[in-house]
Amino acid sequence: MLFHHVLGLTPGVTAFADELRRAGHTVHTPDLFEGRTFGGIEEGMDHVQRVGFGAMIERGTRAVEDLPADLVYAGFSIGVLSAQKLAQTRPGARGALLYYACAPLKEFGDAWPDGVPVQVHGMDADPFFAGEGDIGFAREVVASAARGELFLYHGDQHYFADHTLPSYDPDSAALLLSRTLTFLRSLA
């Protein structure tokens, strides 16, 4: 399950999902914005604030209701909220991939669930990931997991793995994809 970032279910998000599919994985990409996409983070965040963070997370929860429990939950930026919540609270989760963001561990419970591996990816000078404290939350989550990894990439871009955006960093994106595929293979 791959949840999109605050710009919506963009061609960059679906292209990333397609890379995972080419590697043999089944990937679901629910559209939590109901067809809307945005040209910038501020515009997308305005939409999320109008709808409500809780409502967005609930849309993510509803997106998995008819799916088996043994999923890997992944999210880009704001999509991390749904992915992290489900990985922490839905029994049967196989793993979590959190890109560009991380919520405090206590946001969705007291501890990271036993047996659920997690990877967190972000840039070391990203004003959102590093500047707003997510990097600290990532360290907390990774430390509490039996198998947790935090990958920091050098740079200051937020959406560095989305090839359709000016923030795209091809070297970091390739490494993120490689690490993601290694993680998914380890769960087989």
Q: What is the pLDDT of residues 28-78, one digit of tens each?
A: 999 999 999 999 999 999 999 999 999 999 999 999 999 999 999 999 999
Q: Are 1 and 30 in contact (CB under 8 A)?
A: yes
* Residue 138 host element (H or E): helix 134-144
CATH number at residue 165: 3.40.50.1820
pLDDT at 15 over 90: yes
Q: Are 7 and 38 in contact (CB under 8 A)?
A: yes
Residue 51 phi/psi, 5° resolution? -75, -40
Q: What is the pLDDT of residues 127-170, one digit of tens each?
A: 999 999 999 999 999 999 999 999 999 999 999 999 999 999 99
Q: Domain of 158?
A: 2-186
pLDDT of residue 137: 98
pLDDT at 110 over 90: no
pLDDT of residue 188: 82
Query: Sign of the C-alpha dihedral, residues 113, 115, 116, 118?
Result: positive
Domain count, the chain: 1
Cα Rg of the chain, angstroms: 15
